[in-house]
């Protein structure tokens, strides 16, 4: 999430009430999660296990819960609770804006786009030309939709990321300040749910087709011309490259990459990154030939046990 205008280290420290290490005028351009940070961004870290990763990332400002040696060319914000203060910054730079109309006045809708009854379109939404949005679709603030996109009834674009910190007495939500980008020529089925990025964008690539009841988690990036069948669940921060086919009821864990032209069969469970250009199935998902050999071996077990019993 980039700020509407550049900030300074001292100004950011004042917003969250923290101390800082670095020049007061050190430039701060935005805030992002570790996997999408760029120079000028703030990244937060609150566990020693991830200190080095944050300090060595592309981010030039690190919001951290311990005073450490500051890398050259960077700055620190010292906080007793970086998670809380990251939320404060999200609220400050991207505050929630209540809806004042079913279709917000700030929404931009392109030529020849059809909006069916009972569609909600939030603030600052942009929808391109020749789109068809069916009844009861909900499009949250700041969503960007390209040209020739079809969205079927009951789909929700822009719900909050499923991202929580486990406090001793409750789950504390990391607030979503990102958005969704739907590129040109995408079809989205009925009752799909696509979550906002936490600070960046959840992206559905050009020409991709989603069947009914597909869920896409926060900050996931789906490439071009992918086919995703019904009841697939994709966690946050997944990268799905171009021309991937995912059949029904596949579950995909967070933070992994599915290579281009991979095919994943129905009801598979994907728990690690998969190389492109191959076919997979099973839980955990693996290559077809390897998985078939495993299944064949398992089927031999009863006969082996029976033979061993006879030898005793």
3-state secondary structure 196-217: CCCCCEEEECCCCEECCCCEEC
Task: Identify whether 218 is a catalytic site residue.
Answer: yes
Q: What single string gives the DSSP state of each residue in 134-202? A: -TT-EE-TT-EE-SS-EE-TT-EEEEPP--EEE-SSSEEEPPP--EEEE-TT-EE-TT-EEEPPSSSEE
Number of H helices, E strands in the chain: 4, 34
* pLDDT surpassing 90 at residue 290: no
CATH architecture of 108-288: 3 Solenoid (2.160)
173-196 tens-digit pLDDT:
999 999 999 999 999 999 999 999
Q: Per-residue pLDDT averaged across 239-243, rounded?
A: 98
Out of 134, 152, 215, 218, which one is annotated catalytic? Answer: 218
Residue-averaged pLDDT of the chain: 95
The H or E element spanning position 64 is: strand 61-64
Tell me the pLDDT band of 291, cut-offs 50, 70 and 90: confident
53: pLDDT confidence band, cut at 50, 70 and 90? Answer: very high
2-93: CATH homologous superfamily? Answer: MurE/MurF, N-terminal domain (3.40.1390.10)
CA distances from 72 to 9, 169, 210, 214 (A): 15, 39, 45, 45
pLDDT of the residue at 299: 85
Alpha carbon 78 to its chain's center: 27
- Of all residues in the chain, the percent with pLDDT exceeding 70 is 100
Query: What are the residue boundaries of the structural domains of the chain, listed by start?
Result: 2-93, 108-288
Q: What is the pLDDT of residue 312?
A: 67
Take residue 301 and report the two structure tokens written for it: 């077990």
Position 297 scores a pLDDT of: 84
| pLDDT higher than threshold 70 for residue 233 | yes
Among positive and negative, which fits the CA dihedral 167, 171, 176, 180?
A: positive
- Mean pLDDT throughout 149-168? 97
DSSP for residue 34: G
312 or 92: which carries more pLDDT confidence? 92
Q: Is 49 helix (H, G, I), strand (E, B) or coil?
A: helix
Q: Convert 253-275 to b/e letters by CB count within 10 Å (16 or more is b).
A: beebbbbbbbbbbeebebeeebe
Which pLDDT does position 35 carry in this prediction? 87
CB atoms within 10 A of CB 33: 24
How is residue 69 annotated by DSSP?
Answer: P
Residue 302 has what pLDDT? 85
CA proximity to 205, closest of 232, 224, 178, 181:
224
pLDDT level of residue 306 (50, 70, 90 thresholds): confident
Mean pLDDT for the stretch of residues 114-139:
98
Distances in whole angstroms, Cα of residue 132 to Cα of each of 103, 127, 136, 261, 267:
15, 10, 12, 28, 31
């Amino acid at each position: 999430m980039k700020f509407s205008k550049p900030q300074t280290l001292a100004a950011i420290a004042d917003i969250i009430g923290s101390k800082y290490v670095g020049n007061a005028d050190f430039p701060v351009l935005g805030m992002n999660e570790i996997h999408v940070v760029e120079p000028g961004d703030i990244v937060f870290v609150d566990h020693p296990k991830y200190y080095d990763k944050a300090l060595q990332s592309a981010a030039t400002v690190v919001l951290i819960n311990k005073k450490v040696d500051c890398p050259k060319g960077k700055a620190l914000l010292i906080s007793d609770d970086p998670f809380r203060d990251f939320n404060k910054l999200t609220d400050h730079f991207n505050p929630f804006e209540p809806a004042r109309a079913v279709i917000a006045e700030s929404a931009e809708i392109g030529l020849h786009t059809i909006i069916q009854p009972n569609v909600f379109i939030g603030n600052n939404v942009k929808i391109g030309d020749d789109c068809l949005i069916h009844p009861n679709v909900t499009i949250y603030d700041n969503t960007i939709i390209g040209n020739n996109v079809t969205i079927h009834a009951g789909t929700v674009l822009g719900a909050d990321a499923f991202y929580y910190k486990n406090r001793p007495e409750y789950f504390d939500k990391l607030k979503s300040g990102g958005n969704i980008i739907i590129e040109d020529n995408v079809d989205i089925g009925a009752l799909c749910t696509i979550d906002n990025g936490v600070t960046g964008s959840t992206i559905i690539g050009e020409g991709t087709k989603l069947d009914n009841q597909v869920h896409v988690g926060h900050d996931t990036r789906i490439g071009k011309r992918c086919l995703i069948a019904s009841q697939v669940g994709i966690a946050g921060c997944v990268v799905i490259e171009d021309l991937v086919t995912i059949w029904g009821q596949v579950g995909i864990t967070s933070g992994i990459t599915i290579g281009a032209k991979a095919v994943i069969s129905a009801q598979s469970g994907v728990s690690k990154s998969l190389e492109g250009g191959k076919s997979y199935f099973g839980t955990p998902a693996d290559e077809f030939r390897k998985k078939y050999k495993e299944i064949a071996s398992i089927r031999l077990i009863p006969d082996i046990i029976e033979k061993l019993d006879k030898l005793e």
